Amino acid sequence: MLQQSTPFVPAWDSADTDVEAWSVKEELASAIQYTAPLLVPWGVQVPAKLRPIVESDASTSYDEAVDVLNGGAEAIAVRPDSGLMEALGADVVSERVLVVLRDGEELSAEVQPAGLLVEGERIPSSDSLKRYVRRMNTSVSGRGVYVRAPVASLDDVRAIAAHGATAIIGTSQLALEQPSAGQLDYVEAWMCTMTSDRADGLLPTLVVSDTCSAALGLVYSSAESVRASLKTGSAHYQSRKRGLWHKGATSGATQRVVQLRLDCDQDALEFRVEQHMGDVSVGFCHLTDRASCFGNLQGLAKLEHTLRARKQSAPPGSYTARLFSDATLLSAKIREEAQELIDARDREHVAFEAADLLYFALARCISADVGLADIERSLDAKSKKVSRRKGDAKPAYMPKNEPLDASAPIRLPVHRLSETSASQQIELLRRPAIRTTQVMDRVRPILAAVKERGDEAVLSFTAQLDRVQLDSTVRLPPFQTEADKQTMDARTREAIDVAYANVRSFHEAQKAPAKTTPSKHAAWAPGEDVMEVTTMPGVVCTRFPRAIESVGLYVPGGSAVLPSTSLMLGVPAQVAGCKTIVLATPPRSDGSIAPEVLYVADKIQATCIVCAGGAQAVGAMAYGTQSVPKVDKIVGPGNQYVTAAKMLVQNEVDALVSIDMPAGPSEVLVVADMSAEPVFVASDLLSQAEHGPDSQVVLVGIDLDDAKLRAIEDEVDKQARALPRVDVVRQAIDKSVTMLVQTREEAMAWSNRYAPEHLILHTTDPEALVPLVQHAGSVFVGAWSPESCGDYASGTNHTLPTYGFARQYGGVSTSTFQKYITAQTLEADGLRHLGPHVVALAECEGLEAHANAVRVRLQQLAP
């Protein structure tokens, strides 16, 4: 919308209508370009650098008016009785139309234009001006009242401005320097309403970059410095010590003037400039390595500055040099990052992928000598278009496949082991790719910020990524308020209580009880089993557990409600005896935590709840902050950013923190033979497929005939269609597989190669298959053991290794939160028998001090 900003608007009043006529007024045209729009009659051609307000006439058609506005005109001036008002529509009128009125005319209250152009034989009276200004609510809305009447002096300009209106002055009446009789000095007229609270009359001036409007510095201006800037197109300011100051004249860091603006109170200026680099200085600031007096540039402005510098001086063979020299590589990276942005789902992922795409897109622009200022001007030009395209994508970018047929069966792709080559088997065993390196690159700066700034960084990332403004990082017990207790229904509370009891019972049983006959060293771990072995006479070795002192539990959250994960992590930590239990979970959109999670946090006696998710929560627990206790181990599932953060802090020596295991998408492998119930098999497969599009489900069929396989497939299709997340299920099933084998041994061999998170046995005598299981997170034995029970309440833990890591890891258990210490006690006779062998081994390895520690004792024992 055209905003009132200057005390006058120049108007072309020459009889010439050709753009060439401007050549004789080049200086004045430049001054207008930098400072104000220009009112021109219909049919006058103006240089492209000017911002015209075009006055329509009786012959102006709707299409012509639209073409003018689409071409970039600031506004079009029309009579209220013109058919253009109705044709253009209320939205365009309110943003881009000035209504022309004769002094004394009124405008219908229903019409809300961008401004009024009031004309008369003389300047309207004070009452008339006030009425028009009130009509437009100019002092609040900025919608201007422009007065076209004879203006003889600067006092006339000030008088009009004093009522909140803007004078219109013909270009023939304006001169940039040495005005003749009857002319006004352009700079004096432009600045005549400005006031300064300084004794020297100088005006505070904010200098901003044409790139992203980044503030470069604060200086002062005078009429003299403004005039020099308008004449030369190079920024001049008024130094309080040195007088007129041509910025960069000695350093080379000059500034091309783009636009000058007055602030709304008429007591400060803004210089919008294109900053050039000097011979030594990188920008505006006298500190040679700073582009701005307020510090270094940030965000996109910083990226452009860096890319321009790299384009000039990137080391040969560097990645940046390749991007600028290899158009094919750069094009491929733009397409790759665009697709990754399309595929991104969670907020953090979308932000990071968008940043990557912007990096490569800007590299492409810089390679063509196009900067952010050029892009912003293009956006501004597009925003002025009043005719809109439908906006369909080009055919080449539309999906070529037909819309999914809702009647098409949802089935797992089928393969027979006997007909599958070794290379095909490897591909079928492969999980969807996880871009670990790229994700870690995005997580590192988040961890570094949390490590350096603590709570401030955690709260900042929560606001930025989760769009939640919190006052505090942690909540302290008791966690459930009375309102939370009222929110939870009794059925859910009872279910959590049952699950808690079962999980606690199973995890307490994992602690080996103290021996009925206490050993000599039982006091070393009261209530625990102290393993004691006499390895040779007089040599006793022992092993005993200790709880990990401080642990962090990561519970995914936000829109999800996951009290089950809180139980699966919190109960074994509680049973193990961990002194500090920190539970981290992302807050909901209103900043709250699900009352079910709060209820579990109270039951497991958590020390505090960190109201944050993602890498920032992992960093807070790993390093500790002003309010978050530092932990010794971090446990729990999460998305790829949580997993990457856990892996990074684990490998950082200073962090001194361990983790449970890496994590990937959920998965299940079901082994079924002819005895399997198709309804059960299908339900177990779908229970994991609904987790997400990257989840995998595998059916291993043992000697299934066509009818049994079809029955299972039909049930998968039938049950999937009844699920609310059927679209997600379709995607997951497409990445899944049915493998048909002949024997039970082949089935278990395939399962072990896959190493599933969940293994379900739907066979005759399923217990007999358990001895063949080598690699699995958790096994569900028999038709009456659905995976869902293990997920929630049977007692086993649902935090399990995925992505094939069941080959190396087990699921979370009580021992996850414990460590084992060994001890040895040697009596004198024991050392006499063992010592010589130790000396021999130490001498063999060349470690003389080791050998000597035994020798001196043996010498004491010598008769």
Cβ-proximal residues to 840 (8 Å cutoff; 6+ apart), any chain: none
Residue 485, CA distances (Å) to 425, 480, 493, 597, 603 in order: 52, 6, 9, 11, 13
- Terminal Cα-to-Cα distance of the chain (whole angstroms): 106
d(CA 361, CA 780): 50
What is the DSSP code (8-state) at residue 392? P
Cα 270 from Cα 243, distance rounded (Å) = 19
Mark 209-220 as b/e (b = at least 16 C-beta within 10 Å).
bbbbebbbbebb
Contact partners, residue 133, CB within 8 Å, separation at least 6: 139, 145, 163, 164, 165
Amino acid at position 416, single letter: R
* CB proximity list for 687: less than 8 A, separation 6 or greater: 668, 786, 787, 788
Q: Distance between CA atoms of 794 and 775, rounded to whole angstroms?
A: 21
Burial class (CB within 10 angstroms; exposed 0-12, middle 13-18, buried 19+) of 645 = buried
Tokens of 50: 């000017």
Chain-centre distance of CA 254, in angstroms?
Answer: 36
- Residues listed for the chain: 863
Residues in Cβ contact with 688 at an 8 Å cutoff, skipping those fewer than 6 apart: 666, 667, 668, 695, 696, 697, 732, 758, 787
Interatomic CA distance for residues 121 and 129, integer angstroms: 14
Choose among 228, 260, 258: nearest CA to 243: 228
In this structure, the number of other CB atoms found within 10 A of the CB of residue 309 comes to 13
Neighbours of 808 (CB within 10 A): 11
Determine the Cα–Cα distance for residues 264 and 287; give it in Å rounded to an integer: 32
To 10 degrees, the CA torsion angle through 599, 640, 731, 422? Answer: -130
Local structure of 215: helix, strand or coil: strand
- What positions carry a catalytic annotation? 757-758
828, HSE (Cβ side, Cα atoms, 13 Å): 5
Q: How many whole angstroms separate alpha carbon 86 and alpha carbon 75?
A: 16
The three-state secondary structure class of 716 is helix
Cβ atoms of residues 620 and 630 within 8 Å: no
What CA–CA distances, in Å, run from 364 to 302, 324, 369, 381, 780? 16, 8, 9, 21, 54
Query: d(Cα 257, Cα 273) in Å, to the nearest integer?
Result: 5
Look at residues 635, 646, 530 and name the one whose alpha carbon lies nearest to residue 578. 635
Q: How many helices (H) and strands (E) does the chain have?
A: 30, 31
Residue pointed to by tokens 């990557």: 356
DSSP labels for 104-119? T----TT---SEEEEE
Give the Cα separation of 506 and 793 in Å (integer): 11
Radius of gyration of the chain (CA): 38
Can you read off the two tokens belonging to residue 750? 């395939």
Reduce the DSSP state of residue 151 to 3 states and report it: coil
Specify the residue for token string 């909901």.
588
Q: Rounded distance, CA 88 to CA 474, Å?
A: 55
User: Amino acid identity of 803?
Assistant: Y
